[in-house]
Amino acid sequence: MRLTPTERDRLLIFNAAQLARARQARGLRLNVPEATALISDTVCEAARDGARLAEAVATGRAVLGPDDVLPGVADVLTEIQVEAVFEDGSRLAVLADPIGGGHTGDQAPGALLPGPPHAEPSPVLIVAVTNTATVPVSVTSHFHFFEANPRLRFDRAAAYGMRLAVPAGSSLRFGPGETREAGLVPIGGARVVTGFAGLVDGPLDAPGARAEALRRAAADTALVATLPLDPEGRTWLRLDGPGGSEAWLIGWPPGTGTGWHDHGGSYGAFATAAGSLREDSLAHRLPTDGRTGTTLELPEGIDRTRELSPPQGRAFGPHHVHQVLNTADHTHAVSVHAYYPPLPLMRRYSRSGQALRLEQIERPEDWQ
């Protein structure tokens, strides 16, 4: 015997209804699938017996009451739609409130209880975000924004420990090539983040957590590639490092360099995160109390040169004089620098042969 899909569905409803009738006869209260099948079958049989649409619907609504079903079924089963074959053709029978009462409201199993009204906090920081990808990127409300998709370009250091200032469960969408502003608020609670891009994986405010997250970010080549880079001049972000130190994330366009300088008596270190950098240094301790315009005659044989590719780096003492350059023709470089104590000043030098002249003394306010 060959049956149409409609006829097979009708047999499925009938068999489920027979099972519901058997369980009801044993004194059991019906669940949602059983009640749905029994009511649907009753409507179809009423139509087969010659009842009109309104009569079949009334018959279906009368077959079960609140005492025949489990608690909560009436809350879930608010409407049944079944296609039945009447004498004048197929009709869609719609039964609203098919159980006829028995709603338990807030006491229903699985009921959603609304909480008290909650006003979303106002943003404490607004950052401009550019999606450099060719597809849309969405960020959800409580994602640690510092660790968002590497294809999003924004001030990541400022976004450390922050989330979107949008209602919980919602998101912000950034279209391909789109630049839009995103409001951020600090992550609340215990301020522990786990997972995401794996840049923190722990307490946000633990000693050294921020510096370690930035170190991991610098080691993430996809993330480094999205840092704001100027095609003509160096760019930098100042960061708070561990133990009272400071750190800098610096972008180097091709052909740029620092010029000769020292670090005002601070210890330092830097590492290349992307591209390649060359360091020229002087293996000679210089006086640090000279005035602007002072010229020093350098001895022979003190010049040193190092080529540093990721993840190579360099540490140095408080009287180190050097210059760092990106000698590439077409490739940007990115590096991470740390100093302790934070730089009190930097001395800038010019050099002609073996003559080194102190030209300028810079203070921290000059780098903001």
pLDDT confidence bin for 110, thresholds 50/70/90 = low
Best-predicted range by mean pLDDT among 4-8, 16-20, 117-121, 129-133?
Answer: 16-20
Q: What does the pLDDT look like over 66-108, one tens digit per residue?
A: 899 998 888 888 899 999 999 988 999 999 999 987 666 666 6
What domains are defined for the chain?
5-106 (3.30.280.10), 121-204 (2.10.150.10), 229-368 (2.60.120.10)
Tokens 């309104």 belong to 54
Residue 227 has pLDDT above 80, yes or no: no
Packing angle of the helix pair 32-48, 5-25 (nearest 10 deg): 120
Q: Which long-range contacts (CB under 8 A, 24 or more apart) does 121-125 make?
A: 121/165, 121/185, 122/165, 122/183, 122/185, 123/165, 123/183, 123/184, 123/185, 124/165, 124/184, 124/185, 124/186, 125/158, 125/159, 125/162, 125/183, 125/184, 125/185
Give residue 157's pLDDT.
73
Tokens of 341: 């104590």
pLDDT band at 229 (very low <50, low <70, confident <90, very high): low
| Torsion sign over Cα 155, 161, 164, 165 | negative
Q: Which two tokens stand for residue 55?
A: 């009569």
| Span 140-195, pLDDT tens digits | 999 999 888 878 888 777 788 899 999 888 899 999 989 999 999 999 888 898 88
Q: Which of 277, 265, 233 is nearest to 346 (CA)?
A: 265
Q: Is the pLDDT of residue 320 over 60?
A: yes
